[in-house]
Amino acid sequence: MHSDSNDSKNSNIGELLQQFSSASERKKRGLLKSLESRVLEIVEMGHDALAIFDPDGDEWAAGSVLQLLQKHYPESLNNILSSGSSGWFNAPSTAGIEYGPLQQALLEQSFESADRFTSSALRQLAGSGAENRGYVYFSEVESIAAIDLVTIDRLWIAYSQGKFGFTKQASLLKSLDGRYDRLWTKIGWKNEGVWTRYPSSFNWSLNAPEGHMPLVNQLRGVRLMDAILNHPSLIARI
């Protein structure tokens, strides 16, 4: 019997991308090294390399292909992205926020920068009061535009191999019977009862625990986090 690795070596690059797209989460991760070894073939495909993926979705296979191109042949992205595009994934906003910087930071795996952008965007979405005071009240979350919250969540999922994002955090919380005291440890925000120090002690990489990002200021208590994870637009995505 051939292994996934041997099968991938015998596939043309288009077949390998199709296999990558349709594989289970575990198999996707197993195929990443094969894709990276053949990244030049992906470059040669140009725009067609991502034709099987949906730019309105949050498929992390597409995000991973883009990250491989960014890592090895960043100039090739000019041939893949539409002229004037701020990123491959569509990122609509009803609040007039340009999510290009968030998408670029996630593409480059600059997760701390992406997290800072996310915090700023949430304040802007919550209104002038949140922007002036520098943080969001839990009572302001309900008024946050659904499309924007979903856009932020989609981008985090797509560029993190499905490990990060609000809906990932919500799914983990659900699996822990809604117990935040267990969630904090699970996602690496608390260690042996002590809050993780921001920003130096957080793990700003794909090696971080699932649900580690984006951050919500723990000093605001459970109510803010709970309001975000229970926003109707996110509940509908779980």
Residue 42 pLDDT greater than 80, yes or no? yes
Question: What is the Cα–Cα distance from 87 to 92, expressed in whole angstroms?
Answer: 11
**Residue-wise over 175-198: b if at least 16 C-beta within 10 A, else e?**
eeeeebeebbebbbbbeeeeebee
Domains and CATH numbers, the chain: 4-79 (no CATH), 100-235 (1.10.10.1770)
Determine the pLDDT at residue 31: 97
Contacts of 99 (CB under 8 A, 6+ apart): 86, 87, 91, 93, 121, 151, 152, 155
More confident residue, 143 or 11: 143
Question: What is the Cα–Cα distance from 166 to 4, expressed in whole angstroms?
Answer: 31
Comparing 9-23, 105-119, 143-157, the range with the smallest average pLDDT is 9-23
The DSSP symbol for 186 reads H
Predicted TM-score (pTM) of this structure: 0.94
As to burial, measured by CB atoms within 10 angstroms (0-12 exposed, 13-18 middle, 19+ buried), residue 224 is: buried
Residue 211 pLDDT greater than 60, yes or no? yes
pLDDT (mean) for 26-35? 96
Write out the E strands in 126-176.
Answer: none
Report the chain's mean pLDDT, rounded to a whole number: 93
Determine the pLDDT at residue 81: 84
